């Protein structure tokens, strides 16, 4: 049996298109932040924004100043899916399991994003490995 994750093909296609579209501004250390008058996303935040599974999504509008690699930024305090919270940098378990991701894959993607890999490179990794 293979340890390879099987990401839902329709979700994968939409996610790759979104990551390479140029429509998303990239950030690190959180799924979504509201800065410079715009929304910025990490690679997992782009996926969450696509609403890939049925459920109630909520990004808390309460902000906290949290330092990250680019300095202090205002980020949502957490992300919710069907009332279940997750740390701001990760998708809730219920959501990523429905999509076909593992916790380890999610950590790998977050690390790539936070280490400064552009969306195009992350999309290539997803295409090859998921």
How does DSSP classify residue 104? H
Position 79 in a domain: yes
Position 111 in a domain: yes
How does DSSP classify residue 90? S
Position 128 in a domain: no
Token look-up 């109630």 returns 56
Position 4 in a domain: no
- The per-residue pLDDT for 7 is 86
* Domain with 33 in it: 9-119
Count up the domains in the chain and report the number.
Answer: 1
Position 93 in a domain: yes
What is the full per-residue pLDDT of the chain (130 aa) written as tens digits? Answer: 345 557 889 999 999 999 999 999 999 888 888 777 788 899 999 998 888 777 776 666 555 555 555 555 555 556 777 777 777 678 888 888 888 899 899 999 999 999 999 999 999 999 999 9
- The per-residue pLDDT for 37 is 73
Contacts of 83 (CB under 8 A, 6+ apart): 56
**Alpha helix (H) residue ranges in the chain:** 9-19, 43-49, 93-99, 103-114, 119-129
Position 101 in a domain: yes
Position 2 in a domain: no
121 and 105 Cβ atoms separated by less than 8 Å? no
Position 1 in a domain: no
- The per-residue pLDDT for 60 is 62
How does DSSP classify residue 34? E
């Amino acid at each position: 049996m293979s340890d390879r994750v099987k990401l839902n093909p329709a979700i994968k296609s939409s996610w790759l298109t979104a990551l390479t579209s140029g429509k998303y501004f990239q950030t690190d250390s959180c799924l979504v932040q509201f800065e410079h008058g715009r929304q910025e996303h990490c690679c997992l935040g782009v996926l969450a924004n696509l609403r890939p599974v049925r459920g109630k999504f909520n990004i808390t509008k309460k902000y906290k100043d949290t330092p990250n690699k680019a300095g202090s930024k205002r980020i949502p305090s957490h992300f919710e899916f069907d009332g279940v919270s997750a740390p701001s940098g990760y998708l809730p378990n219920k959501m990523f399991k429905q999509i076909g991701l593992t916790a380890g894959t999610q950590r790998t993607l977050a690390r790539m994003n936070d280490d400064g890999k552009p969306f195009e490179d992350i999309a290539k990794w997803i295409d090859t490995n998921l």
